[in-house]
Amino acid sequence: MVHCHKERVALCFPGQLQRAPEALNGQNGGDYCLPHPFFERTREKIGFHLPSFSFQKGKENECFNLKLQVASYVLSMVSFDRYRREGGKWDLITEHSMGIYAALAAAEAVTFDDGLEIVKGIGLFLEEMGRERQGGMAAVIGLGRAEIEGICNDVDDGLYVANLNASRHFVISGEVNSLEKGMELALQRGAISVQRLTFNTPLHSPLLEPIREKVRQLLNGLHISAPKTLLVSHWGGKALNDPHEIREFLVEELCRPVDWERCVRTLLAQGVTRFVEVGLSDTLTKLIRWMDSDVKAVSYGVRDVA
């Protein structure tokens, strides 16, 4: 990959996949299961077998969202490793939602193994919470921020704006009944699309407060270093610099909204000229192009070359 001398590149790590990659189910020749040490390391470390999309033992086999998150993390890291080996360049790293775990590993703030521990540990907390008090999330396209906030206020029963992805692309989060009311109101008020996401917990909302201390205890048992590459968070482009700050971010971000639009606009204002989404998704690529049709935004997946 040849870059212009003045080009400033941001690597973007997407959040959780919303379905199991088709190739992991035996389609397309199993292309996503090309040999890579991260696949075997994931099996050895946490017992997750990527080709079968399942854990080798334990109740985790019932946890669809946990499996999606582990797969998202591993496939993003495989994509990043191949991007790096093929000569891909970057000046900073940013992330969306639960893409923070792969972003931390790519920035060498945590090891690949510790990243797996964080993903599985927090994922299990979320699954437990989802069984005890089910919630969910839904993407809403076509309404403005004031309209989305108005819907949450009108429901007045634990519904929150979870993701500010673009000027007319949002995610709402809450308990099931509140979420369903919010989805209905969004359609009534002219939303182009309202789609329920796979999550069974109200991620990025104050409703996740009950698991904060569990997450903090998990993180206190793992080593976190200062990032070796500038790491910019989904809190509107705020940089994460030291280990204590990173630990607090990982605790608090579960309860606070993702401000992806402000993150991207901040990076554009700071001179970023190219965004590379690393993983199987192209969601962030589309959102970035939506915000600025002239910006260079591309996706780099497991099978791509730089």
Does residue 165 lie in a domain region?
Answer: yes
Dist CA 174 CA 185 (whole Å): 14
Report the chain's terminal Cα–Cα distance, integer Å: 5
pLDDT at 156: 80
Q: Does residue 220 fall inside a structural domain?
A: no
List the beta bridge partners of residue 166.
169
- For 134, list phi and psi in degrees, rounded to 5: -70, 140
| Whether 105 and 235 share a structural domain | yes
| In a shared domain, residues 94 and 141 | no
My answer on whether 190 and 270 are in the same domain is no
111/238 same-domain check: yes
pTM recorded for the entire structure: 0.92
* Assigned token pair, 250: 């990982």
pLDDT at 186 over 50: yes
pLDDT over 70 (residue 62): yes
CATH of residue 93: 3.40.366.10
Residue 21 corresponds to which amino acid? P
Burial degree of 228 (CB within 10 A; 0-12, 13-18, 19+): exposed
Assigned domain for 149 exists: yes
Report yes or no on 170 lying in a domain: yes
Q: Name the percent of the chain lying above pLDDT 70.
A: 91
The reply to whether 87 and 35 lie within a common domain is: yes
61 lies in some domain = no
Lowest average pLDDT, out of 19-23, 113-117, 261-265, goes to 19-23
Mean pLDDT for the stretch of residues 243-252: 97
pLDDT value for 280: 87
**R_g of the chain computed on alpha carbons:** 19
pLDDT, tens digit (0-9, with 9 covering 90-100), for 67-117: 999 999 999 999 999 999 999 999 999 999 999 999 999 999 999 999 999
* Helix, strand, or coil (residue 74): helix
Contact present, 10 and 49 (Cβ < 8 Å): no
pLDDT tens digits, 114-147: 999 999 999 999 999 998 888 999 999 999 999 9
Q: What is the pLDDT of residue 233?
A: 97
Same domain, 37 and 172: no
Largest CA distance in the chain: 54
Listed range (1-10, 146-155, 193-202, 229-238) with the worst mean pLDDT? 1-10
How does residue 240 score in pLDDT terms, banded at 50, 70 and 90?
very high
Check whether residue 174 and residue 86 sit in a common domain: no
Whether residues 103 and 149 share a domain: the answer is no
With beta carbons less than 8 A apart as the criterion, state whether 173 and 202 touch.
yes
With contact defined as beta carbons under 8 Å apart, do 11 and 106 qualify? yes
Q: Within a domain: residue 263?
A: yes
User: In terms of Cα–Cα distance, which of 274, 300, 299, 260 is closest to 98?
Assistant: 260
Flag whether 43 is in a domain.
yes
Residue 33 located in a structural domain: yes
DSSP-derived 3-state class of residue 56: coil
The domain that holds 178 is classified in CATH as 3.30.70.250
Tell me the three state secondary structure of residue 120. Answer: helix
Shared domain check, 31 and 106: yes
Rounded to whole angstroms, the Cα distance separating 208 from 99 reads 18
Domain count, the chain: 2
Residue 297: strand pairing partners: 275
Work out the mean pLDDT of the chain and round it to a whole number: 91
Mean pLDDT of 15-32: 62
Say if residue 189 is in the same domain as residue 232.
no
Share of the chain above pLDDT 90, in %: 80
* Residue 183 shares a structural domain with residue 247: no
Do 248 and 106 share a domain, yes or no? yes
* Amino acid of residue 60: E
**What residues are paired with 196 via a beta bridge?**
138
Give the residue numbers spanning the domain of 156. 135-196
